[in-house]
Amino acid sequence: MMVFPGPFLSIFTRDPQLLGEAAPWLQILAMTLFGMSLGMVFSQCLNTAGETLLPMIVVVSSNWLIQQPLAIMLSGARSNWEVLGQTVHLPTLAHWDEFGICWAIVIAQVTRPLTYFPYLKWGPWLKKQVL
């Protein structure tokens, strides 16, 4: 999918304009597969061991503290964010339009296994007991 996105996408549409927009999206998002798969494996290891709080915190924080703000800042769509009725001003880092959203997803997915790995090596989850 990363090397030849056109043939894969043509299964779903033949519209050349849509294929032109979708091919770079697919190539960028294909980079998330490694980070996403490692994050899912680490998360399920911890969940199965009874350590459910950390995976929840990592997923929620990577979505709301990394992915969403970065999508706004990288797309250049707007410079503020409404949180619980309060306006949070975010700087514009780039004007990548829809590709800023793609890169925000990539960055958020890659940070998940980077967050889990030190905790997995540290080992307190190994002492959890499931009754």
Whether residue 72 contacts residue 82, with contact meaning beta carbons closer than 8 Å, is answered with no
More confident residue, 129 or 52: 52
Tens digit of pLDDT for each residue in 90-115? 888 999 999 999 999 999 999 999 99
What is the phi/psi pair of residue 49, to 5°? Answer: -80, 0
| pLDDT, mean over the chain | 89
Vertex 106, ends 98 and 109: CA angle to 5°? 135
pLDDT digits (tens, 9 = 90+) for 38-84: 999 999 988 888 888 999 999 999 999 999 999 999 998 876 778 88
Q: How far apart are CA 10 and CA 41, in angstroms?
A: 31
Please answer whether residues 83 and 9 qualify as being in contact, where contact means their C-beta atoms are separated by less than 8 angstroms.
no
pLDDT, residue 121, reads: 85
pLDDT tens, position by position, 23-33: 999 999 988 88
Model pTM greater than 0.75? yes
